[in-house]
């Protein structure tokens, strides 16, 4: 039985979040510059997106560039931004063919103008697609996101638009960058690291975590399928006991 045949299509995670890690180490193992790893990571993104569409996963969010990544060597950051521009341009056709709507979260105003413009154009072009929403977390930090949501809500209380008693978990969630999206039910991190790295800290409160030692450029849809199979074997209790779920 193939991996795909082992997956119950009625028990898929609606939202899958991924921390793509290991590009630099993959390149270093091959005696190449780090950007070579990022370039090959694009192939992993394409296959993972197409695998998610093949399964019927409705939301896929990829941690593409963190706020902390701005502290990397300037040449690597510049190369990453150029790669992002060229990748979005080249992959828009693939997104259209697969019915994927592009979305982005994070401090997008900090992106270079050319990169931001290319991103906006791709988001607009794919806006009518309905098979899957692919969200890129760019210049993203969960603590920044939570802080910004708190500021927005505080200002609404200050102006009288909201009362403090109006503030609920649901209202707070709606003010996050991911407002309107379901919380991830499964979070995958590659490269053997076992950290969350400031990624969707509020949203993954009840997510199942899946760690693989595979470096991101080597990750393919079969690895995605294995993660989903593992997810479907788990019992998600949300603080209850097994007997309460039956």
Q: Which two tokens stand for residue 34?
A: 């780090």
**% of the chain surpassing 90 pLDDT:** 93
The reported pLDDT for the residue numbered 179 is 98
Nearest alpha-carbon partner for 118 in 100, 133, 145, 136: 136
At 142, the pLDDT band (50, 70, 90 cuts) reads: very high
Res. 233: pLDDT tops 70: yes
pLDDT mean over 31-54:
96
pLDDT mean over 44-60:
98
The two counts, helices (H) then strands (E), for the chain are 8, 6
pLDDT mean over 173-195:
98
Q: Is 21 among the catalytic positions?
A: yes
At 75, the pLDDT band (50, 70, 90 cuts) reads: confident
Write the pLDDT tens digit of every residue in 144-153.
Answer: 999 999 999 9
Return the bridge partners of 65, or none. Answer: 138
Query: Which residue is catalytic, options 8, 10, 21, 230?
Result: 21
The reported pLDDT for the residue numbered 8 is 97
State the first-to-last Cα distance of the chain, in angstroms, to the nearest integer.
28
CA distances from 205 to 102, 142, 200 (A): 25, 13, 9
Reported pTM: 0.94
Q: Is 69 among the catalytic positions?
A: yes
Q: Which two tokens stand for residue 154?
A: 């505080």
**% of the chain surpassing 70 pLDDT:** 96
pLDDT mean over 205-211:
97
Query: Which residue is catalytic, options 69, 107, 131, 198?
Result: 69
Furthest C-alpha separation in the chain: 60
The reported pLDDT for the residue numbered 146 is 98
At 235, the pLDDT band (50, 70, 90 cuts) reads: confident
Res. 113: pLDDT tops 90: yes
The reported pLDDT for the residue numbered 243 is 55
Res. 122: pLDDT tops 60: yes
Task: Name the helix (H) or strand (E) containing 6.
Answer: none
CA distance 26 to 218: 9
């Amino acid at each position: 039985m193939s991996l795909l045949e082992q997956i119950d299509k009625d028990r898929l995670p609606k939202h899958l979040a991924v921390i793509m890690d290991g590009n630099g180490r993959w390149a270093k193992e091959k005696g190449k510059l780090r950007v070579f790893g990022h370039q090959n990571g694009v192939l992993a993104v394409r296959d993972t997106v197409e695998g998610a569409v093949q399964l019927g996963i409705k939301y896929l969010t990829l941690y593409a560039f963190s706020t902390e990544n701005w502290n990397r060597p300037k040449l690597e950051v510049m190369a990453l931004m150029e790669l992002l521009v060229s990748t979005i341009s080249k992959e828009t056709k693939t997104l259209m063919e697969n019915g994927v709507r592009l979305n982005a979260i994070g401090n997008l105003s900090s992106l270079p103008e050319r990169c931001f413009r290319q991103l906006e154009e791709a988001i607009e072009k794919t806006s009518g697609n309905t098979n899957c929403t692919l969200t890129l977390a760019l210049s993203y930090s969960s603590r920044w996101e939570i802080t910004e949501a708190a500021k927005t809500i505080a200002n609404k209380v200050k102006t009288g638009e909201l009362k403090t008693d109006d503030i609920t978990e649901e209202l707070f969630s709606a003010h996050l960058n991911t407002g309107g999206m379901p919380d991830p039910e499964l979070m995958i991190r590659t490269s053997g690291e076992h950290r969350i790295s400031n990624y969707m800290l509020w949203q993954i409160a009840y997510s199942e975590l899946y760690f693989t030692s595979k470096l991101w450029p080597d990750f393919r849809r079969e690895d995605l399928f294995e993660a989903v199979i593992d997810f479907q074997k788990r019992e998600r209790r949300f603080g209850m006991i097994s007997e309460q779920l039956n």
